[in-house]
Each structure stands twice: as structure tokens, then as C-alpha cells.
Amino acid sequence: MEDNRFNYYHVWEKIFKNSNGDIRGYQNYAKYPESMKDAKEFVEKYKEQIIA
């Protein structure tokens, strides 16, 4: 059976890192886009949170 689901991960408005770049905290969930225009801006703004 093929699994067509995807994992859901939170996207954060702000990520706090120490001087070494290690994540130390998060603040506020990001608001998900409501249109394709908003989606493009969302991806650009939060692309560093991609989990590969």
C-alpha cells in the first residue's frame, strides 16, 4: 500500500539562536498563506525552516 500522507511541522514567526547558531527557542506559529501570492512570500520568508 502506498502512503500518500505528509508530515505536518510547525512554522515559527521567530527562532532564537545562540552565538553558535544552535536553536534555543521559538516564538509564535506563523500564519499559513491564503492565496498563491501569499504562498510565494511565505516560502521565501520561512524557507530556512525546511526539514529535509
The burial of 15, by beta-carbon neighbours within 10 Å (0-12 exposed, 13-18 middle, 19 or more buried), is given as middle
From first to last of the 52 residues of the chain, give the pLDDT tens digit.
Answer: 566 676 778 899 998 999 998 989 989 999 989 999 999 999 999 998 887 6
Q: What residues have CB less than 8 Å from 42, skipping those under 6 apart? A: 30, 32, 33
pTM of the model: 0.63
Check residue 4 and give its pLDDT: 67
- Burial pattern 38-49, b for ≥16 Cβ within 10 A else e, equals eeeebeeeeeee
Distance of CA 26 to the CA centre of its chain: 11
